[in-house]
Every structure is written in structure tokens, then in C-alpha cells.
Amino acid sequence: MEIQWNRVTWYSRIFSIIIFTALPFWGFYLGYNYGQTQISGPIIVTIGPVRNAAAKQSGIPASGWFPYRNDQYGFTLKYPLGVEQQMPTEGQLVKLSIPGIFEIGTNFAEASFVVSARRDPSAISRCETFSGSNLGPGGETSTVVVEGITFYDTKSADAGAGNFYQTDDLRTLRNGACYDIIMTIHSTNIDNYPQEFGVQPFNYNKIRDLLFAILQTFSFAPTPQ
């Protein structure tokens, strides 16, 4: 069979589809593995190049990660190729989504990283008295420190209709505003899939590490002079 390179054929279409489909996820894989995060107790320690601007002054690169900046509330963060920035809903400032294809062939549905901030008195009061008293089953509150920023992290779990949600709700008070970062991992009941589908349990630690790698890039922007 003679291949005519100047013509669009069925095999050239298939080849193009494969290339353009695979490239984003290959880049996502490289970016994720380039910025692994290790968590030790309540302190997050970055062992890769994914850090904020102050850390990058040491010469550590951060290629493959996209910046987000919010001037209204004065913060920045980064996220890797393959993580989708979605339209935030009311009250949200930025919403990132890790799609289910990241753990294809498993019961992983999606994960989200949402940042909100409020300056009203009720939000400030809740930030100051954050105790975790309204948690769901298995909830607990701990302290997480990211680049000198102390967050109060409430962990909780919820389930319903074959879906499981595991959440870290992190709050901190800064410059007269309560900042709320909610990281949620959504998975499904693996027993609901026919055995012949071969669905495997997803790697929870892999997804959680990626969410915390994004959290590790969170930084408050310098106050304009």
C-alpha cells in the first residue's frame, strides 16, 4: 500500500486523533511526577520543584504548571497540565478539577480543588472559632502549614447512592478575610460494577498527593505599596 502524505486518509485521521488525545495526559503525567509531595504529620514538605515564588528563587524550575492569580483577594497558585480550571459557582474564586481519566479503569470519579474567600463578619467569626464541631462521620481537625501559612484542616467523609466523598476543608484568616480551600475526592462503589468490567480500586494516595501538591503552590501575593 502506497502512503500519500499530502492526502487526508482514514489512517492519518486515526493517527492524528491518537496523538492529540494522548499529548495532554502525557504532559499531565510528567507534570504530576515532576512535583511529588510528601506529607509528614500536619506539615506539608515538598520534595519536588512545585513551590511558590520564594522557593523558586533557589533555581528550582516549575515547568508544566499554569499560574492562577486573584488580585481581589491577593493570592496565587499553580496547577499542572491535565487539571481543568472550571467555571466557579457563586461564592467560589477558582475551581480546579482532576478528571476521572487520571485513574482510568478504576472507581475514581473526579477530584476538585476550590478556593473561596469572604470578608463578612459571620465568615470571620467561623474562621476564628473553627473547631470541627459540625463534622460528619469520621471527621477530625488538624493543623496544616504551607509556606508559613497556618490552615485548620477539617477532614470529613460522606456517602450516598453508591458515591463516596472524602474532603479536606482548610481555613485561614488573613487580611480581614476568611480563606476556605476545599479539596474533595469523589469515588464510586466498586461493587456496583460488573466483575467482567475489571474495574480496580483507585489510588487514593496518588490523588490526595496531587491535591496537596497544588495546595503547596498556594501563596499570598505581596501587598502593593
Q: What is the pLDDT of residues 79-133, one digit of tens each?
A: 988 899 999 888 899 999 999 999 999 999 999 999 999 999 988 888 876 654 4
Question: How many domains does the chain fold into?
Answer: 1
> Can you give the residue range of the structural domain that contains 143?
10-220
For the domain that residue 71 is a member of, what is the CATH number? 3.40.1000.10
Task: State how far the Cα of 151 lies from the Cα of 42, in Å rounded to an integer.
Answer: 10
The mean per-residue pLDDT over the stretch 164-190 comes to 94
Residue 69: inside a domain: yes
Residue 148: inside a domain: yes
Residue 225: inside a domain: no
Per-residue pLDDT, 130? 64
Per-residue pLDDT, 127? 82
Task: State how far the Cα of 39 lies from the Cα of 95, in Å rounded to an integer.
Answer: 23
Per-residue pLDDT, 175? 86
Task: State how far the Cα of 18 lies from the Cα of 38, in Å rounded to an integer.
Answer: 34
Residue 5: inside a domain: no
The mean per-residue pLDDT over the stretch 41-60 comes to 34
C-beta atoms surrounding 223 within 10 Å: 7
Residue 48: inside a domain: yes
Q: What is the pLDDT of residues 186-213, one digit of tens each?
A: 999 999 999 999 999 999 999 999 999 9
Cβ burial 157-178 (10 Å sphere, 16+ → b, else e)? eeeeeeebbbbbbbbbbeeebb
pTM, to two decimals: 0.70
Residue 3: inside a domain: no
When comparing pLDDT for 180 and 223, which is higher? 180
Residue 4: inside a domain: no
